[in-house]
């Protein structure tokens, strides 16, 4: 058994900060075997690797709750190799894919399993984040995101792939959910888009009905799966909430938050994944933020030249009335009303303005600087809160018996969130007890 002990560390367990803690974990079980909030009463297993955590913070592995693991936005011949490597280097031990084909998901999952098997055999390191997925979202004929994926000059492979996406009706909703669960979906993703926040005519694409979305949510819940939904405007958000979804995978940018939407969130208990990073790229704002995090990510060896350049570019496809400030106002109000904020960016390999992994750092800083969250609330939004809301009961907290998905940071990240990426930043990442290499 290969045990690791981290002592005298500031521990953020997903909820609470403990100033002088000791955490023990091992690779045999892949779990945390002991947590002590007083280093003096902790026992060190014989032969363990012992790390002095003084002047460091230990966190649960971060969870990126909105990304995509496909390669549709990569240039011809572009590699998918870094899709799960860059997040692990950024302290993200779990990524939640929100619309990808089964082939892409299975390819990643096989790589993850093979890597862990080799690490257990040889005692080596790991390089890939864990992957959760909705598989393909509940798309309709001609509906979102088919038009945007097929815009420009798509390759024949992309055209053929989109042809295989679902064309759901209320009558086929139950079978769609059943087959997705059988194929390993961890949750279900709705698509609700009328383009009113985008540089496209409103209702220029077919829009899913409340009847359909309600049928999908009902089927998902009958199969024990959470159900979340895409919406970028107030009216589309209202449809997702009225359908009974567990959460929104974006907030809206078309108008300031009306009280009716705040009340509907409170009534339904739904959570929100703000994705401020991609919304800033959509509206063409915060260029200095994109430049700063792209530069940090490259200097730390997380992204290559292509990925860095991609992080600095922008989508710039908003409706003239759309503003990022509306998103800040909404998250601020929802947070004050006790609505769960779950951290996610909508990062995709090759999607302008995003980088899988380092974009989550930018997202978390925006929560603190623009939306009124404290550093610990921001950290909870990327650890314990998503684990609870998605039903990932084995992770998201530093608790005995949970997965040994851990991040060690130089400095006190509970007081200064920027410790995650500034200076030495992250000095150690473990997934199931194995150190990231």
> Residue 150's Cα: distance from chain center in Å?
25
| 45 to 13, 32, 72, 373, 408: CA distances (angstroms) | 22, 13, 47, 38, 20
What pLDDT sits at residue 155?
85
| 246 to 264, 291, 346, 380, 382: CA distances (angstroms) | 12, 34, 18, 18, 17
Please determine, for residue 398, whether its predicted confidence score (pLDDT) is greater than 90: yes
Structure-block tokens of residue 158: 């992309």
pLDDT band at 40 (very low <50, low <70, confident <90, very high): low
pLDDT band at 41 (very low <50, low <70, confident <90, very high): low
In a domain, 20, yes or no: no
**Per-chain mean pLDDT for the chain:** 96
Residues 6+ apart with CB under 8 A from 365: 289, 378, 417, 418
| CA angle (388 as vertex; 385, 391 as ends), nearest 5 | 140
In a domain, 38, yes or no: no
Domain that residue 244 falls in = 61-398
What pLDDT sits at residue 397?
98
How many CB atoms are located within 10 Å of the residue 417 CB?
23
Q: What is the mean pLDDT of residues 49-68?
A: 97
Longest CA span, the chain: 67
Sign of CA dihedral 369, 371, 320, 357: positive
What pLDDT sits at residue 163?
93
In a domain, 73, yes or no: yes
Q: What is the mean pLDDT of residues 176-199?
A: 97
In a domain, 251, yes or no: yes
Tokens 């690791």 identify what position? Answer: 4
In a domain, 322, yes or no: yes
Sign of CA dihedral 396, 402, 408, 409: positive
pLDDT band at 201 (very low <50, low <70, confident <90, very high): very high
What pLDDT sits at residue 39?
65
In a domain, 413, yes or no: no
Distance CA 137, CA 191 (A): 7
Please determine, for residue 268, whether its predicted confidence score (pLDDT) is greater than 80: yes
Distance CA 93, CA 87 (A): 7
| CA angle (266 as vertex; 261, 270 as ends), nearest 5 | 90
Of 157-161, 269-273, 360-364, 382-386, the poorest mean pLDDT is in 157-161
Distance CA 280, CA 213 (A): 28
Residues above pLDDT 90, as percent of the chain:
91
Residue 11, SS3? strand
DSSP structure string for 242-292: HTT-SEESS---SS---HHHHHHHHHHT-EE---HHHHHHHHT--HHHHHH
Please determine, for residue 193, whether its predicted confidence score (pLDDT) is greater than 60: yes
Q: How many CA atoms lie within 13 A of 96 on its CB side?
A: 32
- Tally of domains within the chain: 1
In a domain, 278, yes or no: yes
Strand-pair partners of 23? 6, 35
Distance CA 80, CA 306 (A): 13
Sign of CA dihedral 368, 374, 379, 384: negative
To the question of pTM greater than 0.95 for the whole model, the response is yes
- The H or E element containing residue 386 is helix 384-390
Length of the chain: 437
DSSP character for 198? B
Please determine, for residue 200, whether its predicted confidence score (pLDDT) is greater than 70: yes
Tokens 């693991």 identify what position? Answer: 69
pLDDT band at 299 (very low <50, low <70, confident <90, very high): very high
Q: What is the CATH number of the domain that holds 363?
A: 3.20.20.140
What pLDDT sits at residue 309?
97
Please determine, for residue 379, whether its predicted confidence score (pLDDT) is greater than 80: yes
In a domain, 160, yes or no: yes
What pLDDT sits at residue 103?
95
């Amino acid at each position: 058994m290969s045990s690791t002990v981290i002592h005298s560390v500031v521990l953020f367990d997903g909820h609470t900060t403990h100033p002088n803690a000791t955490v023990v974990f091992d690779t045999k079980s892949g779990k945390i075997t002991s947590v002590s909030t007083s280093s003096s009463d902790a026992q060190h297993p014989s032969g363990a690797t012992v790390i002095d955590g003084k002047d460091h913070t230990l966190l649960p592995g971060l969870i990126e709750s909105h990304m995509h693991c496909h390669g549709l936005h990569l240039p011809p011949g572009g590699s998918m190799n870094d899709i799960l490597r860059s997040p692990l280097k950024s302290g993200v031990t779990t990524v939640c894919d929100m619309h990808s084909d089964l082939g892409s998901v299975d390819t990643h999952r096989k790589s993850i399993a093979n890597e862990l098997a080799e690490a257990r055999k040889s005692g080596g390191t790991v390089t890939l984040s864990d992957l959760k997925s909705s598989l393909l979202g509940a798309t309709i004929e001609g509906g979102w995101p088919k038009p945007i994926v097929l815009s420009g000059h798509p390759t024949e492979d992309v055209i053929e792939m989109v042809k295989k996406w679902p064309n759901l009706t209320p009558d086929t909703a139950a079978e769609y959910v059943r087959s997705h669960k059988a194929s390993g979906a961890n949750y279900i993703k709705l698509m609700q888009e009328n383009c009113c926040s985008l540089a496209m005519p409103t209702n220029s694409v077919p829009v899913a009905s409340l009847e359909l979305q309600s049928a999908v949510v009902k089927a998902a819940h009958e199969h024990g799966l959470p159900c979340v939904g895409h919406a970028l405007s107030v009216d589309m958000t209202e449809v997702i909430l009225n359908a009974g979804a567990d959460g929104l995978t974006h907030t809206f940018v078309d108008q300031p938050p009306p009280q009716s939407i705040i009340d509907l969130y409170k009534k339904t208990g739904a959570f929100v994944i703000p994705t401020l990073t991609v919304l800033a790229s959509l509206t063409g704002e915060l260029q200095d933020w994109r430049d700063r995090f792209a530069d940090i990510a490259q200097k730390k060896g997380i992204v290559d030249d292509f990925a860095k350049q991609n992080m600095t570019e922008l989508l710039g496809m908003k409706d003239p009335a759309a503003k990022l400030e509306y998103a800040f106002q909404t998250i601020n109000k929802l947070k004050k009303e006790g609505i769960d904020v779950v951290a996610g960016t909508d990062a995709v390999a090759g999607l302008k303005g995003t980088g899988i992994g380092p974009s989550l750092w930018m997202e978390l800083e925006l929560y603190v600087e623009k939306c009124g969250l404290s550093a610990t609330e921001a950290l909870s939004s990327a650890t314990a809160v998503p684990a609870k809301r998605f039903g990932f009961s084995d992770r998201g907290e530093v608790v005995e018996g949970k997965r040994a998905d851990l991040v060690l940071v130089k400095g006190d990240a509970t007081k200064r969130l920027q410790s995650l990426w500034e200076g030495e930043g992250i000095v150690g990442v473990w997934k199931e007890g194995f150190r990231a290499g």
